Amino acid sequence: MASVTIPQQNRTITDSGEIAAFLQPHGIWYRRTDVAGRLGPRAGDAEILAAYDREITELKERGGYVTADVINVTADTPNLDVMLNKFNKEHRHDEDEVRFIVHGRGVFHINPDSGDPVFAIEVEAGDMINVPAGTRHWFDLCADRTIRAIRLFLEQAGWTPHYTESGVDESYVPLCLGPTDIPPGEGFKPSVPI
């Protein structure tokens, strides 16, 4: 299940209802669905889309999305760091960024235009989320560098990132770094400005 962390308030939200209520004023919706046992670890894109056809159809009807695809990233993905550098810098899109996570974990950092503090949304298998068009954000993988997600689009050209070059993303570390990423004897505060 997702969690939301607001570092400047030293606050973490883990209840799905509270998460949805916190995100709603920012135009972000959050849903949770059971994904356990639907796919094997080597399922291809077509199998993934077929396995989650019901949820994809609901999301398309809800948001007017016309196409869906799958992004499947592992630590072995060629040029992974180059790919991640497209996502882990603060940017905006001309249309919603809709993700349905079916395997793995990642973290969206949101920098609200409202002046509210930056917050992080850690997502995992079963989480559905949107980042509304125009929202300043960036995305990081977690320690295992693995995520498989269904992406929905109004049109794929609207998903081109427009980088803000604010540098705010450089002040945060990924929320979901695991214990293997922390040197022995050192503490770690998730998603804390550095």
What are the boundaries of each domain within the chain? Answer: 3-164
What is the rounded CA–CA span in Å between residue 22 and residue 16? Answer: 10
What is the rounded CA–CA span in Å between residue 5 and residue 193? Answer: 12
* Residue ranges of the chain whose pLDDT lies below 50: 178-194
CATH T-level topology, domain 3-164: Jelly Rolls (2.60.120)
What integer pLDDT is reported at residue 168 of this predicted model? 94
What integer pLDDT is reported at residue 177 of this predicted model? 54
- Rg of the chain on CA atoms, in Å: 16
User: By 3-state DSSP, what share of the chain in percent is helix, strand and coil, each rounded to 5?
Assistant: 25, 30, 45
Report CA dihedral (85, 89, 92, 98) to the nearest 10 degrees. 60
pTM value > 0.85: yes
